[in-house]
Amino acid sequence: MEDKFSQRLYALVKAISPGRVASYGQLALMLGHPRGARITGWAMARCQDPSIPCHRVVKGDGTLAPEDAFGIPGLQRQLLQAEGVSFLPDGRVDMAACRWPGPPPQNAD
């Protein structure tokens, strides 16, 4: 059974647009846990739902998850490239160009 943090995290990750990425720390901050990047990473590692685009979550500097995280070496990069995510010469995601700005604000009507 998923805890409330994981449920909220997975819902947020589902909202990341194709061609965009978010960092573990960015997501933690959006969920009200400004120092929760590690907890976010653990929750993402436990995710078994194929409808959640886990490949769109990277480290804050654009570094991809460890090669074994997706079961196939290079799979995260392949998935991101297929969505149009750009990479720096050193192999990290170009966070300046591809960082997800977050969900649109909710109307308070």
pTM of the model: 0.92
At residue 87, does pLDDT exceed 90?
Answer: yes
- Active-site residue flag, 98: no
Q: Per the residue annotation, which of 12, 22, 43, 54 is the catalytic one?
A: 54
Mean pLDDT of 81-93: 98
Q: In DSSP terms, which residues pair with 23 in a beta bridge?
A: 58
pLDDT tens-digit series, residues 10-63: 999 999 999 999 999 999 999 999 999 999 999 999 999 999 999 999 999 999
Nearest to 2 by CA among 44, 38, 54: 44
At residue 102, does pLDDT exceed 70?
Answer: yes
Q: What residues have CB less than 8 Å from 75, skipping those under 6 apart?
A: 55
